[in-house]
Chains A and B, each alone.
Chain A
């Protein structure tokens, strides 16, 4: 470090104080490439998840393949987790730029630099925010007062916008860096000459290793064969009747009595006429068994065997025509998603069940006793538990 600054009370460094030749465009571009890919995957899968949860779907979300949402949402959380080591190394590699001096005096250059720095500030704030809020959400930790879903969604657009601007600004350097040798110094800062403990290749390999370990340590929440090595996964994948739960009956304030003798499932058709079935009645109808995943928006998923009545069979008995959108109403008294919409294509899908059993046993209360919806390719929050009525919209 040049010593003239060490006597200042607040020693703000300058770009020139950073001497490691690892902090270079060659490293930033290579780590940035994978960071960009992971943010891209997060954005696309995030848009899919957002759309799947939208009440209003001009183009209906498809009910096939039944494992689709499990894969896209699993990918979303996996690539977001992978981006954490990538972002940390990336920001380390470009940290000196934080102390870049302004081209004072030249108004035009100041405007250009100022604008670029604003876009970079937005990118870094957004990038850190996305990964931080996403990570905390998987662990169901919400130490803030904004609403997670709209904020994570809006900031995603902001961040991707800033990322595209960033790529536009840096494109010539990115091109040179990615086509050139990793040891190339053409675009390096003049002070970035010192070799240190790690070579550039060494740092890159270490970064890929850290990224791989981050994925292996967490992905078991959704990838079954990683369960035993994902020591940091938010779920083991186990739970009552072999399946984890997200919201307990206690949290939703639903009791066993409510699903007891007096309970019926009412299907209200277009004319407002209700057909009701007790649990005993439902058990008398043709029972079907489907293997379908619960795929939570928070990224974990688990496959299970569900047994119950095909929803379409009930709709036929109640005189509801095919292609009708439905409202699924739960007994739950607390939290969102007590009422969800089920698009006609899901209501008509063969695999869509009013489930009474899970893995061969009567549903436990936490899994939605006396009856719950289980449909293919559908976010877990919309797999309504403790059903009380199904209404034509």
Chain B
């Protein structure tokens, strides 16, 4: 291809070969039912992210942009990124789905309380930052009524 450097072509070929090796490993070591399960989880992750998590993030951002006073929007957006990702990460611990009744050393914390602790700290940080902003700008801001898909009033 014209304009494509040697480095890029070499990287492309290398990546392709590495991927093919992986596909061979994947397909050659398990039976059909196991592969079907792996395929469902591979596709399912994309579907759940693109169809659910991404939409939920859009929706919550839009709601936040409507309801929050303008001084709180920046801190709240930051808080949302932190809490959203930490909460997704905490699901297996919060649900203790892997807990075993013969092993008290696994999942041996109060995860609800720990998660709540993080929430309290982040919400407190958002509040403090919002108050500081309100003080410096001297305005509390009226709810914004624009309905951008991005929910991003300037």
Interface residues, chain A, CB within 8 Å of chain B?
A: 1, 13, 17-20, 81, 84-85, 88-89, 91-92, 95, 98, 121-122, 124-126, 128-129, 132-133, 135-136, 138-147, 150-151, 153-169, 171, 194-198, 202-203, 205-207, 209-210, 213-214, 217-218, 231-236, 238-240, 244-248, 250-251
Q: In this complex, what residue of B is CB-closest to A162?
A: B19
CB contacts (< 8 Å) of B40 on chain A: these are 144
Residues 8-39 (chain B) with a chain A CB within 8 angstroms: 8-9, 11-12, 14-23, 25-26, 29-30, 33-35, 37-38
Task: Check B19 against A158 for contact (C-beta < 8 Å).
Answer: yes
Q: Is the CB of B97 within 8 A of A217?
A: no
- Chain B neighbourhood of A141, CB < 8 A: 92, 95, 97-98
Which single member of B73, B88, B150 contacts A84 (CB below 8 Å)?
Answer: B88
B29 to chain A, nearest CB (A): 5
From known contacts A89-B81, A147-B34, infer whether A231 and B118 are also in contact, taking CB-CB under 8 Å.
yes
Q: Are A18 and B107 in contact (CB under 8 A)?
A: no
Q: How many residues of chain B get a CB closer than 8 Å to chain A's CBs?
A: 81
- Contact of B150 with A168 in the complex, beta carbons under 8 Å: no
- Contact A202:B22 (CB < 8 A) given known A139-B93, A144-B37, A146-B41: no
Which residues 82-134 of B have a CB within 8 angstroms of A?
Answer: 82, 84-86, 88-90, 92-93, 95-100, 102-109, 111, 113-115, 117-118
CA of A351 to CA of B15, assembled, Å: 41
Please list the 5 inter-chain residue pairs (A to B) with the smallest Cβ-Cβ separation, ordered nearest first: A161-B19, A231-B114, A157-B22, A164-B15, A196-B152
Per-residue CB contact flags for chain B residues 61-93 toward chain A (1 = under 8 Å, else 0) read 000110000000110111001101110111011
Complex Cα distance, B57 from A203, in Å, reads 14
* Bound-complex Cα distance A121 to B20 (A): 15
* CB <8 Å contact, B114 and A232: yes
Smallest CB–CB gap between A147 and chain B, Å?
6
Which residues of A sit under 8 angstroms from B20, Cβ to Cβ?
A: 161
